[in-house]
Structure 1
Amino acid sequence: MQNNPVSFVDKRVATEMPEVVRKATQEAIDKETQKIEKELGINGLLAKLSQVLGKDDLEKIKKLWNDANARPVRVGILGKCGVGKSTTVNNLFQGELEEIEPITLSTSRLGVGNSVAQYKKYKLPKGGRLTIVDLPGYGRDLVEDESYQEIYLKELKNCDIIILIIQANSSDLVDDQVMIQTLIEWKKAGLI
């Protein structure tokens, strides 16, 4: 007996559907963003503060806000070697990749994946920028993992967010568990 699934969706509809869903989702996000901006955004906040602060103080607050938003958010990406960190990053952020810049530290290249951190700078569709720090993968070799610690500590302490990519269909999670515990210990020690 052959296993031939029956498709109840027209192929044309199936290929157009993701775009329709993406457009509807973006419209809903835009509407909610405008609502939040009006209620809680910087302009709403400045309007409320204008009742109690002078013009100079308002300008200082606005400058601080603009300076903070001008700096791209830095996201550190960690995971086992070969888990698909770079692929996940490239597919996760819908921004336009502006630049890839390797950060060279003294490590050895063993032929698979990155052995240095890479900065990937994205221009986001709604404005703003995002810098991804794509770190070398761990779990292939103990000596190599030890050499990457220097890179991890140097780069992660400058990241605003750390994302650990874990392979969902793998039962071998020991290396990931060790990395999670290591990150917790580094955080407690103030290293990141």
Structure 2
Amino acid sequence: MGNSVDHNSTEGIQEALQNNDREKIQQYMNLEKKSPLNIAVTGECGSGKSTFVNAFRGIQHGEEGAAPTGVVATTSEVTPYLHPNYPNVTLWDLPGIGTTKFPADKYLNLVPFERFDFFIIISAIRFRENDVMLAKKITKMGKKFYFVRSKIDFDLKNQERSQREFNAERTLSEIRKACIQGLQSASVVSPQVFLVSSFDLHLYDFALLLNTLERELPEHKRDVLKLVMPNISHEVINKKKEAFYKKIKYWAMLSATVAAVPVPGLSIAVDVVMLIGVVTQYVLGFCLDILSLKKLSARTNVPYNDLTAVIISDLAATEITADLLLKVIGRFAGTAALMAAEEGSRFIPILGIPLAMSFSFVSTNKILKIILNMLAEDAHKVLNKVMESNTSV
């Protein structure tokens, strides 16, 4: 198909811009909303797979769309769970290996491993023979896997009760060392083990796991992962901002290509629609939409009104409409003049269209940078509020 896009987004965007191909530019700009990311979460029964799936998606047990959790085996089929804000991202809760329905020797034939981008192998105690067998099979398929030792918070509490001179860092080091030695004795080469609590993602190794996944994913899926990362730290928020920021110039160039069409009023009308879409992506990515904030409130026990009270931008925690967006843009110094200059320049002979394109690029670039900075700052403020209210964070 002539309008299909490959996944080498940087080169593809540059070529589309050189050819002034608005449709293909738009396809590239929306690539991370459509590029699928399939994450497999597997391990033995009771290891905490479903709880991890829910935590990664920012969903609590019992909420609509949550993976069922419990003390008995709750996953009997390969079950997909879409990310609430990015439906192109799916976490797959795989049945426990070694069950009657999914015996270890037939597991690979019963589970469609080829569809997954990478695998999270979870264990709540120690990694067993089935986990090692799975890791070796995944390696032969040329795919990545990551060992996650779950329920670390329970381990620390149990150790604290039983030890007179308890030291959390020493205990964590001992758990990690025991897991690595166990895997090495089973012939797993250079195993990486991440210690995680699905109830407290901000603690222990979850941030390190995210950094590792980000580093090892292909380029076109790296930004997809950044946008769905839970806001567990200021570093994550800054990474999301960086992912959004590097695309602003391309949105501005897309705006300029529209400005090249000699129809009065068309550029501004198209720009407003485009800006609504881009700003909505910012709001969802920073988890500043109403639903995400309410889920955060329920998860952290910080009142919803307390979270929204620290938000400065009028574009967060609300429905973004054309009227609201134009009202907000109107407050930015010099922006209205640039937009007016773009329309006025169309009537200048010969130089009119190039001038209109230039004004359109500058105004869109400026608008998106200001809005992105505002929303990123709001995301930091919300995280600070949660940290203040939950001293353990």
TM-score (norm: length of structure 2): 0.27
Any idea what SS the aligned residue of 1:165 has? strand
C-alpha displacement of 1:177: 1.6
Equivalents in 1 of 2:17, 2:35: separation in Å? 29
Equivalents in 2 of 1:98, 1:50: separation in Å? 43
The structure with higher relative contact order (CA 8 Å, sep 6+) is 1
Give matches, 1:141-156, under 5 Å. Answer: 144-152=103-111, 154=112, 156=113
Unaligned runs of 5+ in 1: 1-41, 102-110
- What is aligned with 2:134? 179
Letter in 2 for 1:145: A
Give matches, 1:1-192, under 5 Å. Answer: 49=14, 53-56=18-21, 59-67=23-31, 69-94=33-58, 99=65, 112-124=73-85, 129-140=88-99, 144-152=103-111, 154=112, 156-167=113-124, 170-171=125-126, 173-187=128-142
Deviations 1:122-158 (A, max 9, x none): 213xx56421111111134697223432232x2x211
| Cα 1:51–1:79 shift into 2, 3 Å | closer
Contact 1:100/1:119, CA 8 A, preserved across alignment: no
Contact 2:38/2:115, CA 8 A, preserved across alignment: yes
Any idea what SS the aligned residue of 1:163 has? strand
C-alpha displacement of 1:51: 11
Any idea what SS the aligned residue of 1:77 has? strand
Any idea what SS the aligned residue of 1:131 has? strand
Contact 1:98/1:123, CA 8 A, preserved across alignment: no
Contact 2:83/2:89, CA 8 A, preserved across alignment: yes
Deviations 1:59-113 (A, max 9, x none): 4143144255224422111111211100111122226977479xxxxxxxxx833
Contact 1:136/1:148, CA 8 A, preserved across alignment: no
Contact 2:43/2:122, CA 8 A, preserved across alignment: yes
The structure richer in helix per residue is: 2
TM-score (norm: length of structure 1): 0.51
C-alpha displacement of 1:182: 1.6
The structure richer in strand per residue is: 1
The RMSD of aligned alpha carbons is: 3.7
Equivalents in 2 of 1:172, 1:122: separation in Å? 28
C-alpha displacement of 1:174: 2.6
| Cα 1:113–1:181 shift into 2, 3 Å | same
Unaligned runs of 5+ in 2: 1-8, 144-393
Any idea what SS the aligned residue of 1:187 has? coil
**How many corresponding residue pairs?**
128
